[in-house]
């Protein structure tokens, strides 16, 4: 059954990986207006071309999500163009080598980039009347399975994703009385420019298009945590509740990234 194109959706980090896959999935299903941003103009324009061919009206923006003022301005412009129904804070990066610069860059993108996306969105949602319970505005933040426990192989990445997970879980409860839905997305190993750099084993590896379908369905059903694949979720959850003396030993045995 063909779904009605009635959603105005904003996605950050849409030039590759999960962000690109989400843009294309929404473009062929429910997106009327699709606002996407990224740092690489060539890749972003290619995603926009594909999404346009799938039927969505696409608006692109080259922007740094770590800039609070630029993101506030862009969110306001998007909302004026077409009132937003769904905002997905997806943009992310991973440290290579955990140098001083890479650690700060990881937190600026993965944590502050999320805040710079969703906080303006929340304020815009609060100013927009909700016509019916079925039209509750939504926010989704992309965390990671790495956010369940600090990883010595990528300390800043796992810590920034843990902060996003905790913040999203708290916001869901806080914003529910205001009629705003919040979902936290915790993928495992999904094909992206980040996982393309990995040299360590990646169990239950998944293509981005498959992950996008799971995420879209989870957001539509207003799931609190969209965590997949299930076998890996169980493993990382179990490891997160083990005594530290045991988890330290187990995580210390993980293969190091090259």
Alpha carbon distances (Å) from 40 to 37, 46, 102, 113, 119: 9, 10, 19, 16, 24
Q: Which residue has the higher pLDDT, 178 or 255?
A: 178
**Start-to-end Cα distance in the chain:** 47
Using the predicted structure, report yes or no on whether residue 109 has a pLDDT greater than 60: yes
Sign of CA dihedral 27, 118, 197, 256: negative
Using the predicted structure, report yes or no on whether residue 202 has a pLDDT greater than 70: no
Please give the pLDDT value at position 232.
82
Please give the pLDDT value at position 119.
98
Q: Which of 27-41, 97-111, 142-156 has the lowest mean pLDDT?
A: 142-156
Phi/psi of residue 192, each to 5°? -160, 175
Q: Contact 128/87 with Cβ under 8 angstroms?
A: no
Please give the pLDDT value at position 204.
66
**Its pTM surpasses 0.85:** yes
Please give the pLDDT value at position 198.
60
Q: Give the model confidence (pLDDT) of 137-192 as tens digits.
A: 999 999 999 899 888 888 999 999 999 999 999 999 999 999 999 999 999 888 76
Please give the pLDDT value at position 51.
98
Please give the pLDDT value at position 194.
64
Q: Which of 58-62, 99-103, 104-108, 132-136 has the lowest mean pLDDT?
A: 132-136
Using the predicted structure, report yes or no on whether residue 73 has a pLDDT greater than 70: yes
Q: Name the average pLDDT for the chain.
A: 90
Residue 181, strand partner residues:
138
Confidence of residue 254 (pLDDT cuts 50, 70, 90): low
- Please report, to the nearest 10 degrees, the dihedral formed by the alpha carbons of residues 207, 210, 211, 213 taken in order: 160
- Residues 183, 137: Cα–Cα separation, whole Å: 11
Q: What percent of the chain has pLDDT over 90?
A: 70
Domains of the chain: 7-252 (3.40.50.720)
Strands 57-62 and 31-38: parallel
- Residues 209, 164: Cα–Cα separation, whole Å: 23
Q: Contact 158/147 with Cβ under 8 angstroms?
A: yes
| DSSP state letter for 92 | -
Which residue has 């962000």 as its token pair? 19
Confidence of residue 1 (pLDDT cuts 50, 70, 90): very low
């Amino acid at each position: 059954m063909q779904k009605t194109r009635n959603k105005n959706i904003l996605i950050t980090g849409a030039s590759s990986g999960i962000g690109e896959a989400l843009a294309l999935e929404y473009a062929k299903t429910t997106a009327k207006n699709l606002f996407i941003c990224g740092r690489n103009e060539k890749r972003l324009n290619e995603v926009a071309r594909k999404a346009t061919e799938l039927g969505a009206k696409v608006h692109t923006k080259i922007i740094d999500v770590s800039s609070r003022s630029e993101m506030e301005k862009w969110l306001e412009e998007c909302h004026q163009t077409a009132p937003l129904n769904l905002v997905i804070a997806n943009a992310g990066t991973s440290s290579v080598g955990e140098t001083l610069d890479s650690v700060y860059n990881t937190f600026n993108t993965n944590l502050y980039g999320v805040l710079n996306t969703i906080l303006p969105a929340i304020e815009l949602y609060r100013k927009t009347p909700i016509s019916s319970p079925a039209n509750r505005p939504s926010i989704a933040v992309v965390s990671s399975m790495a956010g369940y426990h600090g990883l010595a192989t990528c300390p800043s990445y796992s810590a920034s994703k843990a902060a996003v997970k905790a913040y999203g879980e708290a916001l869901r409860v806080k914003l529910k009385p205001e009629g705003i839905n919040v979902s936290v997305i915790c993928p495992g190993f999904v094909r992206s420019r980040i996982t393309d750099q990995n040299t360590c084993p990646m169990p239950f590896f998944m293509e981005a298009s498959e992950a996008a379908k799971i995420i879209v369905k989870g957001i539509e059903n207003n799931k609190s945590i969209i965590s997949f694949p299930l076998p890996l979720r169980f493993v990382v959850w179990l490891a997160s509740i083990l005594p530290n003396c045991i988890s330290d030993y187990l995580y210390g045995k993980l293969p190091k990234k090259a």
